[in-house]
């Protein structure tokens, strides 16, 4: 059974059709990477999945639960919040709350839903576990400005995981980092992949995508130009645009 199924997803900004009918599905435990040149619609697709943008047409289902279809485009705030629960989001700019410590950043959202003191304690314990898993056991009480970019990004990953999303989405998680810090973030994402965390990763790190992904989507001009295993899409692309894109990157 597919954990995520997207069908015919379309999104316009003004008269500009940015997503022109995107369809794909993924299985639980898979890592799917999305490649594509600047402006091809990768971020817009992730934002639609997370209901940060409302699509114009198409459907989004998680675990066969239809979250979005064109006729329910006017979702209520409550529905949107509920839908968002299925997805965790890690952005290029880590977007941590500067006034809160690493641990507070991680537990803030889950704590809002806690119904008892015991639940709050469990959330704090889980937050500490997640930060430890991210290699940040010594940094839990540090504020974002006291952390490196790579450490901040790992806090952001722990924060997304704290809400136990069905699918964890990354939008170029390392493009704001220098190469040394990039490595430490890619390492934790690789570890999550080996533990079969379901992930969608928009990235320009082609070598990383090849190594970590079960499936690759190459987007071009708002459509999926090519989709397949890393061997198919990266090593033996059949689409001319994919070939051109990869040639530019490998230059």
Ligand X SMILES: Nc1ncnc2c1ncn2[C@@H]1O[C@H](COP(=O)(O)OP(=O)(O)OP(=O)(O)O)[C@@H](O)[C@H]1O
* Rg value, the chain, Cα: 18
Residue 203, interface with Mg ion (CB under 5 A)? Answer: no
Please give the residues from 49 up to 78 whose contact with ligand X meets the rule CB under 6 A: none
Which of 27, 29, 39, 178 touches ligand X by CB under 6 A?
39
CA–CA distance, 183 with 31 (Å, rounded to integer): 18
User: Among ligand X, Mg ion, none, what does residue 6 contact (CB within 5–8 Å per kind)?
Assistant: none
Q: Which does residue 13 touch among Mg ion, ligand X, none (CB within 5 to 8 A, set by kind)?
A: ligand X
**Partner that binds at residue 39, options Mg ion, ligand X, none, CB closer than 5 to 8 Å by kind:** ligand X
Select from 32-40, 139-147, 183-191, 209-217 the region that touches ligand X (CB under 6 A).
Answer: 32-40
- The stretch among 31-39, 66-74, 93-101, 232-240 that binds ligand X (CB under 6 A) is 31-39
What residues contact 64, with CB distance under 8 A and at least 6 apart? 1, 2, 5
Which residue from 41, 58, 144, 165 is in contact with ligand X, where contact means CB under 6 A? Answer: 41
Q: Using the rule CB under 6 A, which residue among 31, 44, 50, 153 binds ligand X? A: 44
Give the range of 34-42, 132-140, 189-197, 234-242 binding ligand X by CB under 6 A.
34-42
Whole-number minimum distance, CB 204 to ligand X, in Å?
7
Token reading at 132: 């430890």
Q: Name the residue nearer to Mg ion (CB basis): 49 or 130.
A: 49
Site residues for Mg ion, 32-71, by CB under 5 A, read: 43
CB 212 within 8 A of CB 190: yes
At closest approach, how far in Å is the CB of 141 from ligand X? 34
Q: Is 174 in the site for Mg ion (CB under 5 A)?
A: no
| C-alpha–C-alpha distance, residues 220 and 27, integer Å | 23
Q: Is 57 helix (H, G, I), strand (E, B) or coil?
A: strand
- Reference 140, options 106, 112, 111, 187; nearest CA is 106
Q: Report the C-alpha gap between 219 and 222 in whole angstroms.
A: 7
CA distance 30 to 235: 20
Alpha helices in the chain (DSSP H): 42-49, 77-84, 102-112, 117-133, 149-162, 179-194, 206-212, 230, 240-250
Q: Is beta strand 199-202 parallel, antiparallel or unpaired with respect to 31-36?
A: parallel
User: Is 47 or 139 the residue whose CB approaches ligand X more closely?
Assistant: 47
87-90 and 199-202 as β-strands: parallel, antiparallel, unpaired?
Answer: unpaired
C-beta nearest to Mg ion: residue = 43
Contact between 38 and ligand X per CB under 6 A: yes
Report the residue count for the chain.
Answer: 251
Binding residues for ligand X, per CB under 6 A? 13, 18, 36, 38-44
Binding residues for Mg ion, per CB under 5 A? 43
């Amino acid at each position: 059974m597919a954990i995520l199924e997207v069908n015919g997803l379309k999104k316009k900004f003004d008269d500009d059709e940015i997503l022109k009918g995107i369809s794909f599905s993924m299985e639980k435990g898979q890592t799917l990477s999305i490649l594509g040149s600047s402006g091809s619609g990768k971020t817009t697709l992730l934002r639609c999945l997370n209901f940060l943008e409302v699509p114009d047409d198409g459907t989004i289902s998680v675990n066969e639960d239809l979250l979005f279809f064109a006729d329910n485009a006017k979702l209520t705030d409550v529905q949107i919040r509920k839908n968002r629960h299925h997805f965790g989001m890690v952005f290029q700019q880590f977007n941590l709350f500067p006034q809160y410590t690493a641990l507070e950043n991680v537990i803030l959202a889950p704590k809002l839903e806690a119904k008892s003191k015991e639940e709050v304690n469990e959330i704090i314990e889980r937050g500490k576990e997640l930060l430890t898993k991210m290699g940040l056991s010594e940094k839990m009480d540090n504020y974002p400005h006291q952390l490196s970019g790579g450490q901040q990004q790992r806090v952001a990953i722990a924060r997304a995981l704290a809400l136990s999303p069905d699918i964890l989405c990354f939008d170029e998680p390392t493009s704001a980092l220098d190469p040394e810090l990039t490595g430490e973030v890619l390492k934790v994402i690789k570890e999550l992949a080996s533990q079969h965390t379901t992930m969608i990763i928009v990235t320009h790190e082609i070598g990383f995508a090849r190594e970590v992904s079960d499936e690759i989507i190459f987007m071009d001009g708002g459509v999926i130009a090519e989709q397949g295993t890393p061997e198919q899409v990266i090593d033996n692309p059949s689409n001319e645009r994919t070939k051109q894109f990869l040639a530019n990157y490998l230059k």
